[in-house]
Each structure stands twice: as C-alpha cells, then as structure tokens.
Amino acid sequence: MEATEKDVVEQDHQDSRPPIFRSWNQMYLFVLVLHAIIITLFYFFTETYS
C-alpha cells in the first residue's frame, strides 16, 4: 500500500521533537521563563546602576 503525501507529512510532524526537551510545550515554557529571568535581571541592573 502506497503512503500518500498527507500520511508522510503527518508522520514527519509527529516525529519532530525539539533537540533538548521531550515536547515542544516544555521548550516554549523554558523560553518564556528564560525571557522573564532576563527581563528581571535587566530591570535589577538598571535600578542598581542608574
């Protein structure tokens, strides 16, 4: 039985995982937390050294 293009695309999509974490949700959470930490550090440095 020949696989259709849609089946191949769906299989590729299901197999794609982020390089570090187990799921994309964990990757997105990491990026958001890291972003919040960087913003907080910039705020702290600005208030301290201004």
> For the segment 13-49, what is each residue's pLDDT rounded down to a tens digit?
667 888 888 999 999 999 999 999 999 999 999 999 9
Q: How confident is the model at residue 19, as a pLDDT?
A: 86
Whether residue 3 is predicted with pLDDT greater than 60 in this model: the reply is: yes
Contacts of 3 (CB under 8 A, 6+ apart): 11
Q: Which two tokens stand for residue 33?
A: 């937390």
Q: Could you please report the per-residue DSSP string of 1-50?
A: -PPPHHHHHHHHHHH---SSSSSHHHHHHHHHHHHHHHHHHHHHHHHHH-
Q: How confident is the model at residue 34, as a pLDDT?
A: 98
Q: Which two tokens stand for residue 1?
A: 């039985």
Q: Which residue has the higher pLDDT, 4 or 37?
A: 37
